[in-house]
Amino acid sequence: MASPRSKSTREKRTVRPPKRFRTEEVLDFLDESDDNCGGGLADSSDSYSESDRSSDSETEITQETTQPSTSSSTSSSGSTSANSSPPSARSTSTDAGWTEATQGEATENQFRFLPKRPPGVQPGYLPENCSAVQAFLCLFTVNIIDSLVNSINRYADIRCQQNNPSRKRSRFASWTPVTRAELYKFFAVMTLINGT
């Protein structure tokens, strides 16, 4: 008996392209899937099994966490007041485990960025006849560029060590450390691409 490995090398696999659907087929499929999800839920409420009842506590917890907090005071007759949320605003649960939640209260961002001056390069700090390169160097100082160069080269060294021995023409075998001038050229090209 031949081993499975030798058998698989002898077999020739034919790769078929993925099936393409027409727009009408996709829309029909989506309509059918929507009908199957929504239509069966109302009918299946009568056939509520004992195993489904065990998940009631999970559903109630989900509903409690998704509802915005409302105060419901009880009057002397024992009924809740009009401040309680109407049934349409409450969360509902389906058999598939999906829950529909109402939109809660929006919270305000408490950590606002309030700079003392407008962000960016300040015209008062630049010389009168400033070139684009000089403005760029105000944002990216030599320390930042050196830090980027060191990080790139350190990462490349790690990748080259992981892929040892590498093939003769691989990108790891032909890697040379990045210099500050190359990084400046890279940023110049990226700026030109973005500006046009």
Rounded CA separation 66/102 (Å): 7
Task: Please report the pLDDT score of residue 169 as a whole number.
Answer: 65
Q: What does the CA dihedral 132, 138, 142, 146 come to, rounded to 10 degrees?
A: -80
Structure tokens at 112: 């606002």
Task: Please report the pLDDT score of residue 50 as a whole number.
Answer: 46
Q: Which is more confidently placed, 161 or 105?
A: 161
Structure tokens at 196: 């046009």
Average pLDDT rounded to a whole number, residues 98-102:
69
Average pLDDT rounded to a whole number, residues 111-115:
79
Task: Please report the pLDDT score of residue 102 as a whole number.
Answer: 67
For 129, what's the count of Cα atoms within 13 Å in the CB-facing half-sphere?
Answer: 0
Q: Which is more confidently placed, 127 or 40?
A: 127
Rounded CA separation 155/160 (Å): 9
**Over pLDDT 70: what percentage of the chain?**
52
Residue 70, SS3? coil
Give residue 165's Cα distance to chain centre.
36
Give the DSSP letter of residue 80: B
Rounded CA separation 20/188 (Å): 43
Residue 93, SS3? strand
Task: Please report the pLDDT score of residue 110 as a whole number.
Answer: 74
Q: Give residue-wise pLDDT tens across range 169-194.
A: 676 677 889 999 999 999 888 888 87
Write down the mean pLDDT value for the chain.
Answer: 68
Q: Which long-range contacts (CB under 8 A, 24 or more apart) does 105-108 make?
A: 105/68
Average pLDDT rounded to a whole number, residues 157-162:
83
Return the number of other C-beta atoms located less than 10 Å from residue 175's C-beta.
Answer: 14
